[in-house]
Every structure is written in structure tokens, then in C-alpha cells.
Structure 1
Amino acid sequence: MAAVLPYRDINVHSSPSHYAFSSPSSPAAPTLVVDRPSGDIRLHDGKLLGSRRVSSIAGILGLIKLRLDKYIIVITKAQPMGRIKGHMIYRVVATEFLPLRERPLHDPDEDTYLALLKTLVRTSPLYFSYSFDITNTFQRQAHADPAVPLWKRADDRFFWNRFVQEDLIDFGAGLGAAAYGHRHASGQQPDVDPYILPVMYGMLEIKNTSVKGNPLTFILITRRSRLKAGTRYFSRGIDENGNVSNFNETEQVIILNDHASGGLGGFAGNAAQQNGAVGGNAAKEVQVLAYVQTRGSVPVYWAEVNTLKYTPKLQIRGVETAVSAAKKHFAEQIRLYGDNWLINLVNQKGREKRVKDAYKQIYDYLVTSPVESSEGDKRTDEKFHVVEPSQTKTSYDRLHYIYFDFHNETKGLRWDRAQLLMNQLEPHVLKHGYFRAVDMPGDTGRVEVRRHQTAVVRTNCMDCLDRTNVVQSMLGRYILSRMLIDLGFLHEGEHAQDDQAFEFLFRNVWADNADVVSKSYSGTGALKTDFTRTGKRTKAGALQDFNNSVTRYFLNNFQDGPRQDAFDLFLGAYLPSDSGIGSQLLFADRRPLFIQSIPYILAASIFFLFISCFTRRAPEAAILPLRLLMFIFLALAVACFHFIWSNGTLYVNWPKLNRLPWAVESYQEALSSVQHNPVVGPLVGKKHERGKSDARLLGLEEGKKRRE
């Protein structure tokens, strides 16, 4: 049975009563119709009369209902990124939001919702394929049924547009969506499957290269989870469902004899091409070797509260309360990946120590009768901290904890000492291996599995970004050398980095991966990528890290609130409501007027001082009044800056849709402190707080929270 794949080409027809989507390459297939303005979905055999063709699109990203209207998000432009076993992979370049109302109504909140979504989609690294499941690892794909529609095979964690595809998915299943007012036809509608296109958020690079004269395709894929997705300081730790922040799955792949990469491929590729039987090379096997790593936030309830200080306030809310959530998380990780080697790179001193200790405590709660041992060296007693269960009793005994004091071990630009961790991991990585399979000739999509990867290394630091990137690339290089030795391309004792041209490519691909993952979470490229790109720490790299750190500070305090709101909207963590339209102004600034005015007074004072210092004055002009004014504005600027710095929580750009409990607490505490100040307290009394109420501040619960 042939696989049901998404349409490569879709024409959009529009009329005042509907939008119609049809594939010109499949004229016998029914037309997908979305009625206006109701949003009802139906299939229509043949062409619809009375509509005009408005464009040709690459696919339907999804449908989303906001406050006043529903919008169809379509992919208008896609960029080819390369082929994997003949299947073309694309990146989303441009999208368009098609409103269902012919004459859109304007509302301040609706316009803000749209602006947030458009910015998020435009700046997100989104990838898709019409014929290849990029949301699943090669190992999971090997055990999937290729006859199942592509979207049904997709990994739910990495099916980034899963929420906005729910209308089509529900329609295909014959389910109604009462919340959105659909009147779906009864019974399943499999003809809608080709209109459902799964999209992945992350990083993907495909390089046709060679090692020691042996041609191969080198691929690196990082998939970002849509569960508990968010920004650096507004999404930390674990939630009650066992999802952790900034969870990414990274797969490093080499493919041999992938001759289909030069042929047609994708939706048009035939079975022979997809199995490498092209151009007289049919005798050579198409081999796939893949290795998977993961990263994710420390799985306890913790947060960092922005206060405009460079280092936010750290909160950890009871390790015991997170045990149930941590069990869900690691049970899922063990089910998916087998044994988990938990590499903790958080500092063992200073403010990070509490997070490091919390991770160790949650591990102790999960494993059975743990026995601890330490391995030291000349520099520190705590280089490695290994915990293993004394006897196997539960599935959680498949967790193995290793602590590595990354900053202490690599200080003084001694980044080569990170290899000490690799020496510790080496026997376990060799034991659990990597995935290896060969395409089966004449059986499209089927492979013969010759080896499974039976464990995963899960790495984390505070943000799961910079230190994590260094360790993951180091592990990727080691396992790549093992793959090439097993293939006979290298002799025992040789390394992939001995080939300088390939080493240059390898380093830059991994550094690109580091930058993409970091920008998605923190807003800037990764720190320490000079080591990833060059193999050594440089002063120029340190200067770039300083620039990235300053940029992160600005973005994390003043830009990430709206970005978090955009994530919550697109992923369904917040559902807009049409109640109270035009009256509540969800995104309005509700702080007291005095607090809002302080930054403007500061800016005006600095502007006056600047003008006073650099503007020429007439010779006969009196100096004393000007100096007196300068002194007054200088004092005013200092007072305003001190007020902002002392009450930084009041000036952080917080998310406005899903209010964070710890952020609300911090805000209320800072506001109460200002109100009780004998000097400025009378200026920020409750009578000046425009429309502020505890209910609004704490809740703003117009929509339901994440739908499970």
C-alpha cells in the first residue's frame, strides 16, 4: 500500500464565502474547503464555481482562532535545504495569514496577537518534507509503518504545528470541535490527510563530503520540543506533566552510497531512487549510521526571577514536590531511548550550586538504594561524581548520573580538559552503541536494522546551551570516529579530525547547531562557539561572548515577554477568548502612572545633560543658571536610575497571557515596597493604578490553559 504523503503543490482559490485548496498534480483528489466566516471544513469533489485563484502555496501550516477571527496560515515560500535518501527537505521562508472575515474587524488585542504570531513564524527555523519524516530519528523510523500517513508517523513532541493543525486533524477523524464552532461531517475523512503537513522547529544541515577519500553524506538534525517551549528566563525546569524546558533531541547521521541525493526524490522519487539503486551503483548498499543525544532543563520546579540585575534571583520550590513530575519525565525518556546517562555540568559553587544539588536529590529519589563514589584529580575533588544503583529493582535504575565541574575543570582557557568527561563516558557509549541500518532493495521505505542505540546521553547546564553544546559536539566527534572505524574508513587509533577538511566542516556544522539552539531559547547565538569552530578558546571568542551576553541581558529583560506570549499562542498554551471585546485591553500597561513615567524622566534628563554639554553658548550668556539646571537634571537622572535599578521587577517586560506565579509574586512585592516608601508612596497609591486589580494581575484567565 502506497504511503499517504502531503501534496507538494496546492492552489488557493478565494471567494467571499470560502477558501478552497486543491492540488493540480492530483486532479482526482477532493478539494478542501474552509467556509467563511464560520471556519467550517468540508471536502468537495471537483472544482468549486464562483471562486478565483489567488496563489499557489507550498503547504498549509495550520488554522488558528484569535479573539475576533480565525486565520489560515499558509506557507507561501519554501527553500530547498538538500536531500536525505532522495527526499528533499525544505525550510519555511515566508508565510501568509488568510483571515476568514472578508472585512476584518480591528481590535487592539487582535492586532497584537497577529503581530506576535507573524513575528514568531517569520523568525523561527521551521523545516518540513513532503515524503520524509524529519520529526523522528532514523531508529524510530525503522520501526514505523511507511504506509501510515506522514503526519500520523510524526513524533508528537516535535510536530511543531500540531496545535494549529487540530482543525484538520479533528475533521479527518470525524470529530467536532465545539469550542471552535465546527459542524463536521460524521465519519472519518482520510482524504484530508494529504493537506496535513508536519513541520519541525530546530536545525538541519545536510553536507555531501568525504573522509579520507571516502564519500558520504553528513547530516545534523536538532528537534526542539513543543511541550513547555518558551524563552530563557520565562521557561525553566519541569511542569506537572513531566515536560522540561528547552528539550532538544540532536541526531548526527552519516549516509553511505546515497546516490538518490542526486536524483529526483521526495514526492516524485521512485522506489529505486529512494533505495540508492541509481546509475549503475545498485550493488552498493545504502547505509545509515546515526547517533542521538538529548538536552533539557534540570527536572525540578525552579525559576530565575528577572530584576534587571545581570544575575536574576534563583528560586527552587521543594525537590520533593517535583518527584512525581520527574518520574513522568524519566519514564518517558527511558521508554524512548533506553538507559539515560545524565551529565550535569552545573557549577558546584556559587548560586548554581542549589540547582546542581537539586538535580542530585531528584535522582536520589528515583533510583533504588544508590551507592555513591567520587573520582578526583589534582585540580579538584569533585571532577566526577558518579551514582549507580546497588541493585536493579525499578526501571529508574536505568538512569546513571555523572557530575562534571565544567567551569572549574576548563578555567584558564583549558578547554581541552573537557576530554576528561569523554574518557569517563567512553566505555558506556561503546557499550550502548549507535543505530545502523541498510536499505532493503525493492521494498520502499523498509530497512534492515543491524544495530540499535540502546542508551542516550542527556546533557544539561543551567540553560542547556553553551557548556552543553561543547560536550555534545565532543561526544559527536568521538562517536563519528567510532562509526568510521567500524566501516573500515579509519584504522583503530585514527580519528575523524585527522582529515582537516572534514574537521573544518564538522566544527562549523556543530557551531551552527549551537547558535540555532541558543537563539531559539536565549535570543542570541551560543557562547563558546570559538572552541567549537576552532578547537581552542580565543580572546576574540571571549569578546564575542561578552557581546552576546550583553545582548542576552537586554533581550531577556525587555523583549522575551512578547516572545513567550507568541509561543503560548501558537502552541495552544493560551487560547484567546472573544469575551469582553474592546473593553479589557489585555496588553495595556497597567502599572501606576508614576512608575511608567520614570524611564521617560530619566531619558529626558540625560538628553538635557547631553545638549548642555555639547551645545555652543553665547559668550555673554550667564553660566550659573545653566550649571544649576545641569546639577538638577543630573540629580534627577541619578534618582530615576536608582529607582529603576532598585525596583527592577517593575520594569521587566513580563509575559501577559499566561502570568507566571513567581513573577506575579515578585511584582507584587516590589510594588508593595514602593507603595510603603514615605517619599514616593503617595504617588503610587492604589487610586493611581489604572484598572489594576488583583484578579487581573494574577489571572487574566480569558482562555483555558494548555489543552491536554
Structure 2
Amino acid sequence: MRHLHQRIQLYTQGNDTYIFVPPDTPGAQSLTVHRSSGELVLNPPHSLPPSARRTGKLIYGILGIISLSLSEYVITVTGREFKGQLMGHDVYRATDFDLLPLGPNINVFNPPHPVEAHLLALVRSHLMGGVFLFSYTWDLTRRLQAQWENREQDASKPFWETADDRFFWNKFLQTRLIELTMGNTSQNLGPYILPIMYGTFDLRSAALHGRTMQICLISRRSRFRAGTRYFRRGIDHNGHVANFNETEQLLLVEDDIAAGGPRTAGGDIGTQMSFVQTRGSAPLFWAEVNTLRYKPDLQIMDLQDTSDMMRRHLQEQVLIYGDQALVNLVNRKGHEQPVKEAYERYVAQLDLPSVRYQYFDFHNECKHMRWERISILIDDLEADLKRYGYFHVKSNQPEDVQLQRGTVRTNCMDNLDRTNVVQAALAKWTLNQQLKALGILSNDGSIDAYEGISKDFNEMWADHADAIANAYGGSGALKSDFTRTGKRTRKGAMEDGVKSLLRYFKNNFFDGARQDGFDLVAGNWVPRKTPASSLFLVTDPRPLITRSMPVAASFSLFMICAGLTLPRTSDYSLFYYFLLWLTLLSISLVFIFIHGIDYVSWPRLVPSTDYIYYTGPGFRSAHHGKGFGGENAPKTRSGTSISAKWLNSGKKRVGIAVVEEGEKKRVD
């Protein structure tokens, strides 16, 4: 593969150009970005203009270019953290970023318009809130088997061309550089196009029975239908599902020199094994509608193309990974039951030959902390796991020992907590099988008998679970005490309660802006070049009475607290004082509770009205939070509840067409 520039020095020519110069690559072409036109030009080697001034900023990669309402910005990586060395390749996490405006009069710290300031804040929040990983010499976006199978044809290709499109997180930001490079031999920007992956990376060394090894865990988050817990559920009209993650567990074992094995380069890794699992939202058109209640309203939409999109999604999984075992952990009773029934109904209708459905009632089987009963699911899947196998190659052999020919796709409602527990159990079972195949463990052995490697394994999977849960749900994973220690404790249950409350507040009051950040960086929404057309982003279009209720509630609570400090002549002297403020507080809270949808932090760039006010066939658990009339509240001609009509105002004001994620959207 062609190399990537690992360090870039930034030069400027007044307010006219940015010049990116790779100081460590002899004969490399520098890159000039003309601020007035946005033109990108590669310069001949050693052709830095005399008037260029070095800025002192050291850049570790160019993330791409994003267009906002007043200017375009070059996003650069200015901080990185070393995460580990995988088979001789350094892996980093991006820790700091810089936005370089192309507009000559733009100050990124004090933008001239509130809309631009808001959009910049969304971009910064997204960058600083994510876990972005990269390597200059190893393709982090692709699993080991995919790289090995395509190693010959990919040897001379640039990184951006071989990266897995699903996990190339900054693909939209790199669009300008990629388009200039494609079919243009004189403008090869490949060394500047750094693919970034959103996910996790953990690498631990271990020794067992005299064999030195490394265990690595990599999780890759898909950029399609990406977002937060309640604002991205189910499937879209391109067959992409929410919260799709590919998780790869690598086992790298050094050669047994005592047994006469030849030493190899790159850390003496003679044996490479990989086991891949996937997770993703139930592939239906469904959502949970936040209403300020702890349990949102469940909405399942039976659309005409549900079967086609599920087929498209599952066939893509078969094409990429091989046969599929669909493990569904959704509850068979209560709030989650309709999702289970709809999933099973459509899977039965499709009856795909390479897809097998497996249901496991997680909460019922493992209730009263009987977590060891996950072994029941493993027993049910054992035949599939053995048939799918895992990827296995040896460095001194030109052919593979074994290919992985299928994957287990696991889901619960959020694809977080229950999914994490099950995936960790499947990964441990497979790791034991791999160590037995190498002769490191006996036929009845298990890593559980070895404290060091068992502890590292559990911590890796627990940290991985926390990272995915934070990215999607807003808190660390639940049930992580079981993942870390193999036991469910009362302390862990209490910590789960705190995490659940944290998720509630973030999902209801903060995730709207987080979702906007996803949609902006992924290119699901592109602003006009006139900030006035996007003023809905910085204004509150809700009716005055709706906006005033939290103020009334807060002031009433303050007056009640103040009243507790007032002097009194008798126990009844302040009775009417407290009665007044308690009544006002109660009225305010009841109003807020009944109109709950109006107080949720909804995404504004790509509104959620398509499922909030869906009236077609399907299932709806309730119609809370829509005003005093609920489902029967007065409607506009478009079917929107009058009490929450403001939710559509942003979309109507700028003429946004609600189209599916994964497509480029532009507002002109």
C-alpha cells in the first residue's frame, strides 16, 4: 500500500493559502489550499514559496473538509494518543482537532453569526466526544480475513481505496480530496487522505504454558444510520440498521522457538487468528418515541418495503460474512414483545437459506442473577459456531489454515447491555477453542483457570462494552460487573441504576444536539450558504406557554424552599403561601408531563416527525406526551398534533426533504 503522511507542518501565506508540508518524507509534494476559491493543488517537491510562514502547528493527519453556512473548514488532527502496536503497526487515537477556516474573515472562536457558531459547536462536540482511531500503516477499517484475502490486489492501492466503506467514518469529509484524486494522476492526494474509524481498540499481552501471545479487541462502528439511542433505531430505506458494529477478536501467538518453529519478522507473530461478530438494531422500521416518561412509546411501522429492506440487509451480511445466525435477545413479554413478534414474522416470511434465527429470552433465563445460564444459548449455537469457525493463518504458510464462513449477529433493544454479555461469552468460548487447537490448552481447559489472562479478557470486553454504550446510549454499559468479574453483584446492580438515570437525562435532554452532530459530520444534512435560512437552529419556536412552564416550575420550587426559611407565628401562618406555590408547581409539572414531547431535546437537522406522527399500519404502545388529547389531539392538515406543531417548523422553514441516511443531502 502507498504510505500516508504521519506528520505535516502547516504554513500560511497571509490570508490567501494554507500549505501542508510533510517534513519527514523526502521528495513529498506539499498541498496548497487556496482559501478564496477552496482549490486544492499539489506542489512540486521543495517548492515552498519564500513568503510562506510556518505556524508552529504540527498536524498528524487531515480529517477532511466540511462546509458550514459561512465558510468551509479544513479539519486536522493536532493531537494523538498511542494505543498499541498491532503486528508491528502503530495504532493511535485522535485526541485533538483544529478547524482551519477558508473564509478570510472567519474566526473559529468568535464566529460572526450565531448559526455558524452553533454549527461549529456541533462539529467540535462530535469530534471531542467520539473515539476516533487510525493507523498510518494498517487498515483498521477492515477485519484481518478481508485484508488477507485481498492482499495482492490491494498492495499498490491507497488506504482510502481499500478501506471498508461502512467504517470509513470521515468518508464524507474526504469527498473533495477523493474526487480530485480519482482518475487524475497529476493530483494524487492519497497520502493526505487518512481514513478514521469510530470504535474501540484494546491490545493485551499474555503468556500461557510458555507461549507468548497477544489478544486484541477491535470494534468498528458503521457510519450508516449512525446516531444516538432513541433517534436512530431500526432500518432505513437503504438496508442500513442503527448501531451496527463489527467486533473482531484477534489472537496473535508467537512462534514456539523451543519446538523448532522459525522466527518471523514483525514481533515473531507466527499464528494469527480472528473471530468476528456483529450487532445491529432489529432490521424493522421501528422507533421509541421519547415523552419524558422513563419508558418511551414504542412505534412499529409496517411499511411496504419492510421485507425488501430486511432482505437487502441480511443478504449484504451473507455476502460480506457468510452464513448468519440471528440471535434475538428482546423480551418475549411486556414492552418489547411487539419488536420480537414483528422480527420473527418478517424473518419467517423471507425464509433465507443462509440465515438462521435463534431466540434467547435473556431476562427470563438469567433472572435472579443466574448468569451462568448463558451457556444454554452457547449450547444452542455450538453447531453453528463450529461450522462458521474462525480465521487462522500462519506466517510461514502461503495458504490459510481456516476461514471464518459465518457470523453471529446479536441484538437486543439497544444492542448494548444484553448484547455485550452474550458477545463476550461467545468470544470466550471461541478463544478457548482456538487455544485448544494450538495445543496451549487441554481439551477440557479454559482461560477461566488462569487469573492473569482471564482478568485481561474480562476487562477488555467490559471496556469495549462501556465505549459502545457511551457512544450510543450516553453512559457506560449495564451488567458490566458480570463482564469484568464473571459474577453479578448487588453493587453492580446499584451502579446500573445510576447509569440508567444518566441515560434517561442524556437521552431526553441532550441527545438532540448529539444527533445533529452525527448528521452534520456524516453529511446527512448540508447547510445553505445563507445563515438566515438556518435560524431555526438557534431559536425556540415553541409557544410561549410551553416555554414558560419550566420557568414557572423552577420559580415555584425556589419560593417553596425560600418559604421554609421564613419566620412564622404558628404552624398555619404560611399555609396559603405554600398552597399557592405548591399548586403552581403541580400545574406546571402536570403540563410538562402531558406535553412531554415538547420538552425533549429533538434533533433539528433531520427531524424525527416521520415516526413521531406515523399513522399507518403497525403497532403503537401509547400516545403519551402529545397534549391533553393524546392520540385524539387536534391535528393540522398534515396530521401533526397542533400542540407540537413546532417540531415541523425547522423542516418547513428551510425546505428540508426527509430522505434516508447514507444519501448526500443538500439544502439549496
TM superposition score normalised by structure 1: 0.85
Q: Within 2, Cα distance between the matches of 1:699 and 1:347? A: 41
Q: Within 1, Cα distance between the matches of 2:632 and 2:190? A: 61
Other-structure match for 1:648? 596
1:200 lines up with 2:197 in the alignment = yes
SS in 2 for 1:501: helix
* Superposed CA offset, 1:410-453 (max 9, x none): 01111111110001111221122100112259xxxxx6422100
Q: Within 1, Cα distance between the matches of 2:432 and 2:443? A: 9
Using the TM superposition, give the Cα deviation of residue 467 of structure 1 relative to its aligned residue in structure 2, in angstroms: 0.5
Q: Within 2, Cα distance between the matches of 1:699 and 1:557? A: 24
Other-structure match for 1:11? 9
CA, structure 1 residues 697+642, in 2 after alignment: closer, same or farther (shift >3 Å)? farther
SS in 1 for 2:42: strand
Other-structure match for 2:259? none
Other-structure match for 2:70? 68
Using the TM superposition, give the Cα deviation of residue 214 of structure 1 relative to its aligned residue in structure 2, in angstroms: 1.9
Match of 1:322 among 302, 306, 314: 306
Match of 2:466 among 515, 535, 553: 515
Match of 1:501 among 434, 446, 452: 452
* Superposed CA offset, 1:502-545 (max 9, x none): 10110010000110111110000010011111111100000000
1:605 lines up with 2:602 in the alignment = no
Q: Within 1, Cα distance between the matches of 2:325 and 2:317? A: 11
Q: Within 1, Cα distance between the matches of 2:633 and 2:357? A: 49
Using the TM superposition, give the Cα deviation of residue 27 of structure 1 relative to its aligned residue in structure 2, in angstroms: 3.6
1:162 lines up with 2:159 in the alignment = no
Q: Which amino acid aligns with 2:49?
A: L
Q: Which amino acid aligns with 1:366?
A: L
Structure 2 contact 132–196 (Cα < 8 Å) conserved: yes
Report which stretch shifted further, 20-29 or 553-562: 20-29
Other-structure match for 1:629? 577
Q: Which amino acid aligns with 1:575?
A: V
SS in 2 for 1:191: coil
Other-structure match for 1:106? 112
Other-structure match for 1:475? 426
Q: Within 2, Cα distance between the matches of 1:593 and 1:675? A: 23
Using the TM superposition, give the Cα deviation of residue 581 of structure 1 relative to its aligned residue in structure 2, in angstroms: 2.6
SS in 2 for 1:236: coil
Structure 2 contact 2–156 (Cα < 8 Å) conserved: yes
Using the TM superposition, give the Cα deviation of residue 228 of structure 1 relative to its aligned residue in structure 2, in angstroms: 0.3
Q: Which amino acid aligns with 1:80?
A: F
SS in 1 for 2:353: helix
1:424 lines up with 2:380 in the alignment = yes
Match of 1:701 among 649, 652, 655: 655
Other-structure match for 2:637? none
Other-structure match for 1:44? 43
Other-structure match for 2:30? 31
Structure 1 contact 439–448 (Cα < 8 Å) conserved: no
Other-structure match for 2:83? 81
Other-structure match for 1:277? 265
Other-structure match for 2:619? none
Q: Within 1, Cα distance between the matches of 2:446 and 2:201? A: 24
Other-structure match for 1:357? 341
Using the TM superposition, give the Cα deviation of residue 583 of structure 1 relative to its aligned residue in structure 2, in angstroms: 7.2
Q: Within 1, Cα distance between the matches of 2:654 and 2:579? A: 44
Using the TM superposition, give the Cα deviation of residue 409 of structure 1 relative to its aligned residue in structure 2, in angstroms: 0.4
SS in 1 for 2:173: coil
Structure 1 contact 579–702 (Cα < 8 Å) conserved: no
Q: Which amino acid aligns with 1:344?
A: N
Q: Within 2, Cα distance between the matches of 1:218 and 1:699? A: 53
Structure 2 contact 70–530 (Cα < 8 Å) conserved: no
Other-structure match for 2:252? 255
CA, structure 1 residues 276+589, in 2 after alignment: closer, same or farther (shift >3 Å)? farther
Using the TM superposition, give the Cα deviation of residue 319 of structure 1 relative to its aligned residue in structure 2, in angstroms: 6.2
Q: Which amino acid aligns with 1:22?
A: V
Match of 1:93 among 71, 95, 98: 95
Q: Within 1, Cα distance between the matches of 2:631 and 2:228? A: 31
Q: Within 1, Cα distance between the matches of 2:416 and 2:631? A: 39
1:566 lines up with 2:517 in the alignment = yes
Using the TM superposition, give the Cα deviation of residue 699 of structure 1 relative to its aligned residue in structure 2, in angstroms: 6.7
Other-structure match for 2:608? 660
Other-structure match for 1:118? 124
Q: Which amino acid aligns with 1:410?
A: C
* Superposed CA offset, 1:33-71 (max 9, x none): 111132111111121332211111110111100011001
* Superposed CA offset, 1:66-113 (max 9, x none): 011001110001111110110000001111111112321522111111
Other-structure match for 1:387? none
Using the TM superposition, give the Cα deviation of residue 662 of structure 1 relative to its aligned residue in structure 2, in angstroms: 3.9
Q: Within 2, Cα distance between the matches of 1:540 and 1:474? A: 22
Q: Within 1, Cα distance between the matches of 2:392 and 2:196? A: 26
Q: Within 2, Cα distance between the matches of 1:245 and 1:488? A: 40
Structure 1 contact 59–195 (Cα < 8 Å) conserved: yes
CA, structure 1 residues 189+361, in 2 after alignment: closer, same or farther (shift >3 Å)? farther
Structure 1 contact 107–582 (Cα < 8 Å) conserved: no
Query: Mind listing any 5+ residue stretches in structure 2 that lack a counterpart?
Result: 257-262, 615-622, 635-640
TM superposition score normalised by structure 2: 0.90
Please tell me the root mean square deviation across aligned C-alpha atoms, in Å: 2.6
Q: Within 2, Cα distance between the matches of 1:551 and 1:311? A: 14
The within-5 A match list for 1:674-685 is: none
Structure 1 contact 108–582 (Cα < 8 Å) conserved: no
Q: Within 1, Cα distance between the matches of 2:210 and 2:429? A: 20
Structure 2 contact 287–611 (Cα < 8 Å) conserved: no
CA, structure 1 residues 460+454, in 2 after alignment: closer, same or farther (shift >3 Å)? same
1:552 lines up with 2:503 in the alignment = yes
Structure 2 contact 211–254 (Cα < 8 Å) conserved: no
Q: Within 1, Cα distance between the matches of 2:388 and 2:534? A: 59
Q: Within 2, Cα distance between the matches of 1:9 and 1:319? A: 50
Other-structure match for 1:183? none
* Superposed CA offset, 1:618-652 (max 9, x none): x7x68766332221001110111111111111111
The within-5 A match list for 1:179-578 is: 187-189=184-186, 191-257=188-254, 276-277=264-265, 286-318=270-302, 321-367=305-351, 396-440=352-396, 448-578=399-529
Using the TM superposition, give the Cα deviation of residue 496 of structure 1 relative to its aligned residue in structure 2, in angstroms: 1.7
CA, structure 1 residues 517+693, in 2 after alignment: closer, same or farther (shift >3 Å)? closer
SS in 1 for 2:292: coil
The aligned length equals 631
Using the TM superposition, give the Cα deviation of residue 661 of structure 1 relative to its aligned residue in structure 2, in angstroms: 2.5
CA, structure 1 residues 677+406, in 2 after alignment: closer, same or farther (shift >3 Å)? closer
* Superposed CA offset, 1:542-587 (max 9, x none): 0000000011111110000000000000000111112463773433
Structure 1 contact 206–220 (Cα < 8 Å) conserved: yes
Structure 2 contact 115–534 (Cα < 8 Å) conserved: no
CA, structure 1 residues 111+40, in 2 after alignment: closer, same or farther (shift >3 Å)? same
Q: Within 1, Cα distance between the matches of 2:186 and 2:612? A: 46
Structure 2 contact 271–395 (Cα < 8 Å) conserved: yes
* Superposed CA offset, 1:439-480 (max 9, x none): 259xxxxx6422100000000000101000000000000000
Q: Within 1, Cα distance between the matches of 2:516 and 2:96? A: 21
Q: Which amino acid aligns with 2:290?
A: N
Using the TM superposition, give the Cα deviation of residue 612 of structure 1 relative to its aligned residue in structure 2, in angstroms: 1.0
Other-structure match for 2:618? none
Q: Which amino acid aligns with 2:19?
A: A
CA, structure 1 residues 432+622, in 2 after alignment: closer, same or farther (shift >3 Å)? closer
Structure 2 contact 230–287 (Cα < 8 Å) conserved: yes
Q: Within 1, Cα distance between the matches of 2:6 and 2:279? A: 33
* Superposed CA offset, 1:153-207 (max 9, x none): 1100000111101111111115xxxxxxxxxxxx344531000000100110011
SS in 1 for 2:400: strand
